Amino acid sequence: MSSHARFYDVVRRIPRGRVATYGGVARAAGSPGAARRVGYALAALGDRDDVPWHRVINSKGEVSRRSGGTGFEHVQRALLESEGVVFDARGRVDLDHYGWP
């Protein structure tokens, strides 16, 4: 089993309508400070529907940008709004309210 599976498992536990930070996922997976590996793991994930990768955002409460500039942030924002997450005028999420402990 790859260490990535551990991160995927944590992301799967994020309840619908909530979001988690990369650092938070890394910490919950038992590897604090491994935020970069979480991002790498999700990037390597590809098209899997069983992992709600759109619920994982950065510490600023904003959606991170992928290499290649694919305009992916708009898609992720739409997916989160579809689950009841509200973005503010700056395109950010209130982690104090929607952040998953």
CB of 10 to DNA, least distance (A): 13
Given the complex with DNA, which of 38 and 80 has the nearer CB atom?
38
CB of 14 to DNA, least distance (A): 14
Yes or no: say if 26 and 38 are a contact pair by the CB < 8 Å rule: yes
Which residues make up the interface to DNA (CB under 7 A)?
2-4, 21-23, 33-40, 42-43, 45, 53, 58-60, 64-67, 72, 76, 90
User: In this structure, how many other beta carbons lie within 10 angstroms of the beta carbon of residue 36?
Assistant: 11
Yes or no: say if 4 and 41 are a contact pair by the CB < 8 Å rule: yes
How far is residue 17 from each of residues 3, 14, 94, measured CA to CA in Å?
26, 9, 12
Given the complex with DNA, which of 72 and 87 has the nearer CB atom?
72
CB of 73 to DNA, least distance (A): 9
Antiparallel, parallel or unpaired: β 20-21 and 56-57:
parallel
Given the complex with DNA, which of 17 and 76 has the nearer CB atom?
76
